[in-house]
Structure 1
Amino acid sequence: MSFAPVPRRAGTGAARRRGALMVLPAVTVTAIVVLGGLGATLAQAFGLLPIIGPARPGIGAFTAHPDDLASAVGVSLGIAATSTAIAVTVGTAAAIVIVSGRLGGRIVAGLGAVTVTIPHLIGAATIGLLLADAGVLPRLLGIPPESWPAFVGGPWWAAVIAEFAWKESAFVALVVTGTLATRVSAFDETAALLGAGRWKRFRHVLLPLTLPSIIIAGAIGFVYALGSYEVAWLLGRTYPEPLPVLAVRLFQGVSLDSRPEAAAVAIVTSVIALATVALTFAALRRTAAWR
């Protein structure tokens, strides 16, 4: 049996060029909108595009409220990292259950499909009504409001993390299920025929082959949780504020002087998101399945 590399099919380069030309219009429009918005925000944050008065270049917008900005970064990273870790764990487990083909897997698949279609604002309202001290869950359990933990608006941002983890776990399950159904099932069956148990198949077959999909889905969930406004505003504390809540509050302030500060917060959020994307691609290149 020969293990020599399989040569590329003829016309692969031409097909790639045709594919690139087909997506070029959409990529061009998206790049103009995104780069234009980032450029305008960057110019406003550094005082080059003032709302009123002459331009005063500098970093004053970044240093106007350093304590608030540092607290916002810490809160946003904590919420995004915790919710993403929970979502990846739950979503990967749900995907394995779904591809099993049993009745429980079909039920989980149906619940996941319904969850993905629910907007985050409705999900946040649902979590709030469920976990508030006078909500549905404490009433069903017969626990008085003063004895119920402060999940909504509490110090640990529990309701915010729960909403992101719930919604993003369904997204992760959808992405990983597609990988398991198309690429991994044959390898898993072969390993089972060779006598590998469930844990060995998960460790040596399922996890390595699905790791790129898990990393990509987790990165998308992390970036979304980092920049989402409505969930943190509705379910979180008033102080310290996450980055998107701080940016919106500064932007809607009575004084126009706070607009550059809001732009600075937006730039900090964008830098963290871009760094996450860069780390994601670096991690993907280290996976065996990607290589």
Structure 2
Amino acid sequence: MRLLPFLPALVVTALLFGGGLLLGGLQSLGYAPALGQTALKLDAYRDLFADRSFWAALGLTAWVATASTFLAAVFGTAFALLLQRAGAGGRLRFLFGLTLPIPHLVASVLTLLLISQSGLLSRLTLAAGITSGPQDFPALLYDRRGLGILLELVWKETPFIGLNVLAALTRLDPRLNEVARTLGAGRWTRLVRVTLPLIRPALLSSGILVFAFSLSSFEVPALLGATSPTTLPVLAYRAFTDTDLSTRAEALAISMVVAALGGALVWGYVRATGRGGRG
């Protein structure tokens, strides 16, 4: 009964998401009535798994999503702890979350203007005499390791995780740390044994969202990443917009792989939290 008020929204979401997922799955299996293809087959998946560029894209995607989530979680938690110690004033919290309303497309353009070899930082180092030209500034963008993508995701997602952790910190009973201190626990021990276990649900849930977004992000790697290897969403877009319509099935197969990875992540999170709740 508690879900009854949310039922209309849940039905619409399930129809839109489920319908799109079903249609994408059918097309990945070669179902394209407009092209006269109605037989379901696994050719797109066979070709995909035999393609080296797919595995390179999968590795880059996994690396970027994992590294950006880990770094955003570390920095977000550190900033949240600093804000809590400083009293978590409204002005400090506002400044910390200032990047939240900025779309990733805009943030990617800002990153491009800031850290490219002809960007603002490069010009400042040139003016300060640190470099003698754009060629001396480190090439952080269009890097095969995805450094530009990583930097954008970290600075954009750190406040998201940090504010969620800060909200969890403000709900903690301060007497818990006081009791631990009277029992002889040092600052690091209190952080590891008391604070982190209590904020773990907020940290884990926000980290899952950041990882899922990083896994499926298109605009950030399209603007800041190398042409090869690229990430799975960019690879899917290239295949989908190819003039050869036979590559559509491969594009949808890549999308199904990304959806499966995201689904496995959510399933693992639900299982882990379910076991934690029963324990």
Q: What's the TM-score once normalised by structure 1's chain length? A: 0.87
Using the TM superposition, give the Cα deviation of residue 281 of structure 1 relative to its aligned residue in structure 2, in angstroms.
Answer: 2.3
C-alpha separation between the residues in 1 aligned to 2:114 and 2:25? Answer: 40
| Cα distance, 1:49–1:187 mapped onto 2, change above 3 Å | farther
Gaps of at least 5 residues in structure 2 are: none
- Please give the residue correspondences for 1:63-74 in structure 2 after superposition, counting only pairs within 5 Å: 63-65=46-48, 66-74=51-59
Deviations 1:84-125 (A, max 9, x none): 11000000111111112348x666522222111111111111
C-alpha separation between the residues in 2 aligned to 1:263 and 1:54? Answer: 15
Matched AA of 2:76: G
Partner of 2:69: 84
| Cα distance, 1:192–1:101 mapped onto 2, change above 3 Å | farther
Q: 2:78 aligned with 1:93, yes or no?
A: yes
Pick one of 264, 270, 273 that aligns with 2:259.
270
C-alpha separation between the residues in 1 aligned to 2:111 and 2:103? Answer: 12
Gaps of at least 5 residues in structure 1 are: 1-16
Partner of 2:117: 133
Please tell me whether the aligned partners of residues 215 and 284 of structure 1 are also in contact (alpha carbons under 8 angstroms): no
Q: 2:220 aligned with 1:231, yes or no?
A: yes
C-alpha separation between the residues in 2 aligned to 1:70 and 1:51? Answer: 30
C-alpha separation between the residues in 2 aligned to 1:102 and 1:213? Answer: 20
- Please give the residue correspondences for 1:26-105 in structure 2 after superposition, counting only pairs within 5 Å: 26-65=9-48, 66-102=51-87
Using the TM superposition, give the Cα deviation of residue 158 of structure 1 relative to its aligned residue in structure 2, in angstroms.
Answer: 0.8
- Please give the residue correspondences for 1:137-148 in structure 2 after superposition, counting only pairs within 5 Å: 137-142=121-126, 143=131, 144-148=133-137
Partner of 2:185: 196
Q: 2:94 aligned with 1:110, yes or no?
A: yes
Partner of 1:221: 210
Identity of aligned residues (%): 33
C-alpha separation between the residues in 1 aligned to 2:167 and 2:175? Answer: 14
Q: 2:151 aligned with 1:168, yes or no?
A: no
C-alpha separation between the residues in 1 aligned to 2:66 and 2:248? Answer: 28
| Cα distance, 1:266–1:277 mapped onto 2, change above 3 Å | same
Matched AA of 1:207: L
Matched AA of 2:37: P
Matched AA of 1:248: Y
Deviations 1:182-203 (A, max 9, x none): 1354423443455533212211
Please tell me whether the aligned partners of residues 30 and 39 of structure 2 are also in contact (alpha carbons under 8 angstroms): yes
Using the TM superposition, give the Cα deviation of residue 149 of structure 1 relative to its aligned residue in structure 2, in angstroms.
Answer: 1.8
SS at match of 1:215: helix
- Which deviates more, 21-30 or 35-44? 21-30
Please tell me whether the aligned partners of residues 124 and 163 of structure 1 are also in contact (alpha carbons under 8 angstroms): yes
Partner of 2:235: 246
C-alpha separation between the residues in 2 aligned to 1:264 and 1:26? Answer: 28
Pick one of 239, 258, 283 that aligns with 2:272.
283
Tell me how many residue pairs correspond in the alignment.
272
Pick one of 99, 106, 112 that aligns with 1:122.
106
CA RMSD of aligned residues (A): 2.0
Deviations 1:8-45 (A, max 9, x none): xxxxxxxxx2x211112211111111111100000000
Q: What's the TM-score once normalised by structure 2's chain length? A: 0.90
Please tell me whether the aligned partners of residues 29 and 40 of structure 2 are also in contact (alpha carbons under 8 angstroms): yes
SS at match of 1:116: coil
C-alpha separation between the residues in 2 aligned to 1:21 and 1:151? Answer: 50
Using the TM superposition, give the Cα deviation of residue 212 of structure 1 relative to its aligned residue in structure 2, in angstroms.
Answer: 1.4
C-alpha separation between the residues in 1 aligned to 2:65 and 2:77? Answer: 18
